[in-house]
Amino acid sequence: MTDLEQEILSRGNWWVVIHPHEYEQQKLPIEDLEPILRRARVQLRGWDFPHIGDKDPIRTRLRSITGSTDWRYYREVWRFYQSGQFSYLLAIHEDWIEKAREDPYGPVWGPPEHLIPSGPLLGVGDTINRLTEIFEFASRLAVTPAGGETMHLSIAIRGLEKRLLWVDSPGRYPMQNEYRAEIGQYPFQGDVPTSELNARARELAADLAKDVFARFGWHPPLEMLKKQQAELRTTA
């Protein structure tokens, strides 16, 4: 485990694993992994998923390739295996906001000052967008040589205990009540047919976002979540 992975795991994080339901260790030649990943990645809000940066070269391991990013609050490590399995460890942005404040370049995103003492935070918009990225990426990966007729998705949001929901999207009204989690993590696992992923990726993501927010005691209308999704780009 790298130092960056250990640091990400020390605070709140997302852990995402996607792979074909049928396991085959040598499903793909090692040289095909990067082209497949580049073809499947999505860019819905200015930062690609998974992130492949020019300054962070992809590294080749025995049966996988791996990439990482450590810039401002973007702290991420992904791996893509010859079996078609993709894993992604991502820091919850709000937990590393101090790194962004140290950066002298450009405006810095972050929660309002009055919320910072409230404890760990989770942005509503970032949660909706992240889940949408996950499902849309899974739908694209499923139709590459790395995919299969059914894809397994495992998503965990960890470090949630006492975490407070906040409205992180500009132009939207802040929460009128306090919604705080009492669980340590939110886990999801499921097998989804590729045909369903391709037809309903955003709908599946919105349904899951609503379920996540319910664990904070917040029950927004599903249509409100879909409306925010509609502001994202569409995949090419």
Exposure string over 70-99, b if 16+ CB within 10 A, otherwise e? bebbbbbbbbbbbbbbbbbbbbbbbbbbeb
pLDDT in tens, the chain (236 residues): 899 999 999 999 999 999 999 999 999 999 999 999 999 999 999 899 999 988 889 999 999 999 999 999 999 999 999 999 999 999 999 999 888 776 666 556 788 888 989 989 999 999 999 999 999 999 999 999 999 999 999 999 999 999 999 999 888 889 999 999 999 999 999 999 999 999 999 999 999 999 999 999 999 999 999 999 999 988 75
Residue 203 lies in a domain: yes
Residue 127 lies in a domain: yes
Domain count, the chain: 1
Domain of 79 in residue numbering reads as 3-229
Residue 234 lies in a domain: no
Q: Half-sphere exposure of residue 43, counting CA atoms within 13 Å on the CB side? A: 10
Residue 32 lies in a domain: yes
